[in-house]
Amino acid sequence: MEFTAREIAAFLGGEVEGDQNVIINNVSKIEEGEPGTLTFLANPKYESFIYETKADVVLVNRTFKPDKPVKATMIKVQNAYDSLARLMDLYVQSLPRKKGIEVPSYVSSKATYGEDAYIGAFAYIDEDVKIGKNVQIYPQAWIGRGTVIEDNTIIYSGAKIYPETKIGKNCIIHAGAVIGSDGFGFAPQEDGSYHKLHQIGNVILEDNVEIGANTTVDCATMGSTIIRHGVKLDNLVQIAHNVEIKENTVMASLTGIAGSSTIGKNCVFGGQVGVAGHIEVGNNVQLGAKTGVKNNIKDGQTMMGEWAMDVRRFRRVYAVFKNLPDLYHDFYTLKRNLEKK
């Protein structure tokens, strides 16, 4: 598909600076821009590339003021990154969608599916599964008994959805994700062995949730593990039994949330964050990469560190920590000199 800069600006509500009639048919990274492509500048550290890029069109924030002439046509928008996301939506929506049931696959006679649904080859759809309109289930996915998948959700290849899972509208579950596997529950015995505590709850994913590749969300011991509206989980994230993650929280790769913890709304977790069990994290909390959380966190805090602390205190602690060898040397030298007197 081809678009002019003027057409793109009209769609985004932006302003064109440069050739309104230049045509683009693809996108590129700003440092690797090619003629006929559109790119974007959202992070100031990439600004130097805008003066060199060969891309014909660049999305920039309205506040951007170049230090020297820009050869490319600029489209000024309120938020360049968000505008790029909207353009990507337009592109994806223009792609043809698969429909129907491929052979071989298994769809129980007791399962139902809505208009324009797609079930790929070698997928397994168990009894009493309810699949909504425009749902896409790719090859080799496994959907367990009694699961409900609402309209416009995508289940990619190899995903495993355990029985009685509830998945809302417009969700995306990437390849290899496992939703509803057993929580980690074992009762210690007097002889040192462990007796399995069967997990009889389920998982609920509300609307507009995205689950990354090879991420696992465990079912509840009793009741439900709940992932609320708009939550985005990266690849290789572990969510344990009876956890609740509230609206519009995002978690980067290798984050792990232990059982029965509650995570608030609009939180941002960096990679490798670990949250202990039975913890409450408030709304609008930000945790830096590798932060360890063993205590409750109040609303609006930004924290870092192996044992989470306020980010400003963490930076002061780290400033001292990295100088400990020199400080120890100075202390030891001072002590030795005092002992000689």
Active site residues: 241
Nearest residue to 152 via CA among 129, 168, 164: 168
Paired sense of beta strands 280-281 and 262-263, if any: parallel
Nearest residue to 59 via CA among 1, 94, 15: 15
Q: 291-302 burial, b for 16+ CB within 10 Å, e for fewer? A: bbbeeebeeebb
> Using only C-alpha atoms, what is the Rg of the chain?
26
The identity of residue 302, as a single letter, is: T
Distances, alpha carbon 97 to alpha carbons 93, 132, 136, 212, in Å? 9, 15, 8, 21
Neighbouring residues of 122: CB distance < 8 A, sequence distance ≥ 6: 104, 105, 139, 140
